[in-house]
């Protein structure tokens, strides 16, 4: 009898707490002003959407407003797609995580990389690769990349920053190489593979790779403040390329929520492989990393997901694991860490994961 009473009390407390939290979330979203944030926000609990909002403009110059289904550039959240693709092939026995990549790319021109870097290291940013999007930004011809192999000349002759497996260095380069492996092992074009094996099974019909100069309805233009340094905004096309395995797919808040559900509910990977992906492996700059995913244990509950940050882009996909909340924040304006998408993300981290436990 005491057990039943305790269980009933727990259920009532949990329900009351959830209702109070959801009310705070909706009140906060109603209070966000277009001058503070430009983009779209989705919040779900137990895999059901409880709130969606859009703010600001998808095109400032044409007064076109953002909508809840506007397509935003998601920058490095794209890396999660590549990680899942590689792990699907691992699950099928076609990729070994600890073998040198020469096993799959025997003609890769850089012998040191070919014989020493592993898939595990690529997935955990410990390969020693640099990040060519940053180091070679002035060399990138933004409209000239159609295939994954087109990116390779930008970095193939670069010297590794460290001995593979010895140090964390965030690397877009490593994820492009992962994309090459996905193509080689699967026999499919990278973009086709992602569409067939990740986007379609997740019902992510609004997500795709889009060329920089594509004309697409309901797509948000990006505007950069140089990460909060400048008051005057500039368009960000100069800093973009067509999507690669390292970044720049376009998606919506609802599509990324669908991806989160598909991943957590083992629709893309079986439970054993999903657990392997979510197991903390190395310490990054701020959080631990699994395979292509952040595992943030700095708060009172674990937050898994990935961020996307670039000129004119700030995005967050966050799953709060204990309370079963998912928060997706997509913004077409970058910030310096205290405004815009950063401020919105901090609100949810503080409300959902930094709460008092007693």
Mean pLDDT of 303-331: 98
Residue with tokens 């009140």, as numbered in its chain = 27
Considering the domain boundaries, does residue 4 fall inside one? Answer: no
Considering the domain boundaries, does residue 14 fall inside one? Answer: no
The mean pLDDT value of the chain amounts to 94
The pLDDT of residue 1 is above 70? no
pLDDT computed for residue 66 by the predictor: 98
> At residue 202, what are phi and psi to the nearest 5 degrees?
-95, 0
Residue with tokens 């959830």, as numbered in its chain = 18
Considering the domain boundaries, does residue 227 fall inside one? Answer: yes
What DSSP designation does 247 have? B
Considering the domain boundaries, does residue 26 fall inside one? Answer: no
Q: What percent of the chain has pLDDT over 70?
A: 94
Tell me how far apart the alpha carbons of residues 328 and 330 are, in angstroms, rounded to a whole number.
7
Mean pLDDT of 130-142: 91
Tell me how far apart the alpha carbons of residues 151 and 249 are, in angstroms, rounded to a whole number.
15
pLDDT computed for residue 355 by the predictor: 63
**Per-residue pLDDT tens for 150-197?**
999 999 999 999 999 999 999 999 999 999 999 999 999 999 999 999
The pTM (predicted TM-score) of the whole model is 0.94
Tell me how far apart the alpha carbons of residues 268 and 189 are, in angstroms, rounded to a whole number.
19
pLDDT computed for residue 277 by the predictor: 98
Tell me how far apart the alpha carbons of residues 238 and 264 are, in angstroms, rounded to a whole number.
36
Tell me how far apart the alpha carbons of residues 130 and 175 are, in angstroms, rounded to a whole number.
11
Mean pLDDT of 314-319: 98
Q: Domain of 139: which CATH number?
A: 3.40.710.10
pLDDT computed for residue 297 by the predictor: 94
Residue with tokens 């244990």, as numbered in its chain = 297
Question: Dihedral angle at the C-alpha atoms of 102, 248, 285, 224, nearest 10 degrees?
Answer: 150
Mean pLDDT of 216-221: 96
Q: Which residues contact 332 (CB under 8 A, 6 or more apart)?
A: 38, 39, 56, 58, 66, 72, 73, 220, 221, 222, 223, 312, 313
Count of Cβ atoms closer than 10 Å to residue 133 Cβ: 25
Structure-token pair, residue 260: 């989160």
The pLDDT of residue 231 is above 60? yes
Considering the domain boundaries, does residue 89 fall inside one? Answer: yes
Q: Which of these, 86, 157, 170, lies nearest to 120 by C-alpha position?
A: 86
Q: Which of 4-18, 89-103, 135-149, 326-340 has the lowest mean pLDDT?
A: 4-18
Considering the domain boundaries, does residue 122 fall inside one? Answer: yes
CA 225, 284, 157 angle in degrees (round to 5)? 80
Structure-token pair, residue 317: 């996909």
Contact of 129 with 177, CB cutoff 8 Å: yes
Termini Cα distance of the chain: 25
Bridge partners (DSSP) of residue 327 are 43, 318
pLDDT computed for residue 6 by the predictor: 46
State the residue range of the domain holding 191: 36-353
Residue with tokens 């994820």, as numbered in its chain = 175
pLDDT computed for residue 303 by the predictor: 98
Mean pLDDT of 21-45: 97
CA 112 to chain centre: 29
**Per-residue pLDDT tens for 50-105?**
999 999 999 999 999 999 999 999 999 999 999 999 999 999 999 999 999 999 99
pLDDT computed for residue 15 by the predictor: 54
The pLDDT of residue 10 is above 60? no
Residue 19: strand, helix, or coil = helix
Considering the domain boundaries, does residue 30 fall inside one? Answer: no
Considering the domain boundaries, does residue 8 fall inside one? Answer: no
Instruction: Give the pLDDT band of residue 142 (cuts 50, 70, 90).
Output: confident
Q: Which of these, 71, 31, 33, lies nearest to 55 by C-alpha position?
A: 33
Contact of 117 with 127, CB cutoff 8 Å: yes
Count of the separate structural domains present in the chain? 1
Q: Which of these, 253, 271, 255, 248, lies nearest to 133 by C-alpha position?
A: 248
Residue 123: strand, helix, or coil = helix
């Amino acid at each position: 009898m005491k057990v039943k009473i305790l269980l009933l009390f727990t259920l009532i407390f949990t329900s009351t707490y959830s209702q109070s939290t959801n009310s705070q979330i909706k009140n906060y979203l109603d209070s966000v002003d277009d001058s503070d944030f430009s983009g779209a926000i989705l919040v779900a609990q137990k895999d059901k959407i409880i709130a969606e909002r859009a703010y600001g403009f998808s095109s400032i110059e044409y007064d076109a407003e953002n909508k809840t289904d506007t397509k935003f550039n998601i920058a490095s959240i794209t890396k999660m797609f590549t990680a899942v693709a590689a792990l699907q092939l691992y699950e099928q026995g076609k990729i070994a995580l600890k073998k040198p990549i020469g096993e799959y790319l025997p003609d890769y021109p850089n012998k040191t990389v070919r014989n020493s870097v592993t898939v595990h290291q690529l997935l955990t940013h410990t390969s020693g690769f640099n990040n060519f999007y940053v180091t070679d930004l002035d060399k990138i011809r933004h409209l000239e990349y159609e295939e994954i192999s087109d990116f390779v000349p930008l970095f193939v002759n670069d010297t590794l920053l460290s001995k593979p497996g010895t140090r964390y260095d965030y690397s877009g380069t490593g994820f492009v190489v992962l994309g090459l492996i996905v193509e080689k092992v699967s026999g499919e074009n990278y973009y086709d593979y992602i569409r067939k094996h990740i986007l379609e099974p997740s019902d992510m019909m609004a997500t795709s790779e889009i060329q920089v100069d594509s004309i697409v309805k309901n797509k948000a233009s990006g505007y950069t403040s140089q990460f909060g340094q400048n008051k005057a905004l500039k368009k960000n096309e100069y800093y973009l390329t067509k999507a690669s395995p390292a970044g720049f797919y376009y998606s919506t808040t609802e599509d990324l929520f669908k991806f989160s559900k598909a991943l957590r509910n083992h629709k893309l990977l079986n439970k054993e492989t999903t657990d392997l992906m979510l197991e903390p492996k190395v310490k990054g700059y701020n959080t631990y990393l699994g395979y292509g995913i952040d595992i943030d244990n700095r708060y009172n509950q674990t937050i898994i997901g990935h961020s996307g940050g670039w000129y004119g882009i700030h995005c967050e996909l966050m799953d709060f694991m204990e309370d079963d909340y998912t928060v997706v924040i997509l913004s077409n304006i970058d910030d310096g860490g205290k405004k815009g998408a950063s401020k919105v993300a901090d609100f949810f981290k503080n409300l959902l994961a930094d709460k008092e436990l007693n």
